[in-house]
Amino acid sequence: MTEATFDATAVSPSNARRDFIVRLRSSAEYIAIPVFALVVSALLFSLFLAAIGKSPVEFFELVWRGGFGTAFSVQNTLQRAAPLILTALAVAIPARIGLITIGGEGALVLGGFASAAIAIPMLDRVPPLPTLLIMAMAGALVGGAWVGLAGALRHYRGVNETISSLLLTYIGIAIMNFFVEGALRDLTNPNKPSTKPLGDAYMIGKIPGTDVHWGLAAGIIIAILLHILMTRTTFGFAARITGGNARAALAQGLPVGRLIVTCTAIAGACAGLAGFFEVAAIQGRANASLAAGYGFTGILVSFLARHNPVAIIFVAIMFGGIVASGGLIQRRMDLPDATVLVLQGLTFVVLLVSETLYGRFAIFKAATTSDRT
């Protein structure tokens, strides 16, 4: 120990500044390392493009133009960011309590289906606003139950939540297909098995002055509320104790099982709401198009944002742009749609590798580190 560490016990204004610097340095690490990972994956992806004889410069230029270059592309990007924010939250909240769930896709599909199904008897009988509220509630409840089930299985029966949430996703998609192709199929639509369309009157509108639906606003508000929940409330504090050390949480008498099930249910509810917005703002009905991969891209978004709900908003917009530029890239560079998936997969692997870098750089550390004997 140096002399300086003894001073830390006294209360003085310089302490407040030092505490602030300690916090600042560690948050700088959380930004610098993911940015570094992004740059590395962009470089690797450039190598991939060069290897198949395409220009990396042109690619990234098109991503920029297709995602953010024009007012139209920005709105297209934001449209796609909305479900990504919610599906990323579906990964981030369980991650705070120490669980890696990847069942957002299933909760999105089932939530979307549930909201479409509950609307069928209400159409033309109940006014649009209450109908939409009930649809949203149905989506959130069904999605919450779906991922909450993975959490409950984990706590009470010791089933690995990553595996069970993934498998529940496939079951969820199968359940939707079962109803959409069977009992709830709209027979007037011969092309694609779907539920009965909501009709324009029952669709969610756009945010005034834009072409972006209200799902974006809802996603941003929910992300901020969940951030506050996890950082500023006793529930969030208890969840962080449980996520950091379940043994310590038990010794503090915290209701670990209830915390786990609640966090996973919140996660599922977010993804279920994403499904509701896809149905009520974009598709107008439930069909196989709901399983468009937003649930899986959300995993990447959450990891890149280090499971921080506010950071998720920005990362989701960035990925919304990449997803939105897919069509343009396909047309201009004669690359398959899946190219964007290669970029995403590559980013994910680089990101997971970069997790090992935390705590390795002195610059992010406090000025004096304690020696461990």
Binding site for other proteins (CB under 8 A): 1-2, 4-6, 8-11, 15, 18-19, 22-23, 26, 231-238, 240-241, 244-245, 247-248, 250-255, 362, 365-373
Exposure class string for 130-139: b at 16+ Cβ within 10 A, else e: ebbeebbbbb
> Which residues 6+ apart lie within 8 Å of 305 measured at CB?
34, 88, 92, 311, 312, 314, 315, 316
Q: How far is the CB of 371 from other proteins (least distance, A)?
A: 5
287 Cα distance to chain centroid: 22
Q: Which of 347, 288, 303 is nearest to 323 (CA)?
A: 347
**Which candidate, 123, 94, 91, places its Cα nearest to that of 108?**
91
Query: What does the alpha-carbon distance between residue 120 and residue 285 come to, in Å, rounded to a whole number?
Result: 10
- Report d(CA 302, CA 317) in Å as an integer: 12
Among 116, 25, 15, smallest CA distance to 358 is for: 25
Q: How far is the CB of 92 from other proteins (least distance, A)?
A: 16
Q: How many CB atoms lie within 10 A of CB 276?
A: 32
Closest contact distance (angstroms) between CB of 313 and other proteins is 22
- Residues facing residue 148 across a β-bridge: none
Shortest Å, Cβ 33 to other proteins? 15
Minimum distance from residue 302 beta carbon to other proteins (Å) = 18
CB of 147 to other proteins, least distance (A): 23
CB of 146 to other proteins, least distance (A): 27
d(CA 176, CA 191) in angstroms, rounded, equals 17
The tokens 């974009």 sit on which residue? 282
Site of tokens 């990925």: 319
Tokens 């991922």 — which residue?
A: 147
Q: Which residue's CB is nearer to other proteins, number 9 or number 188?
A: 9
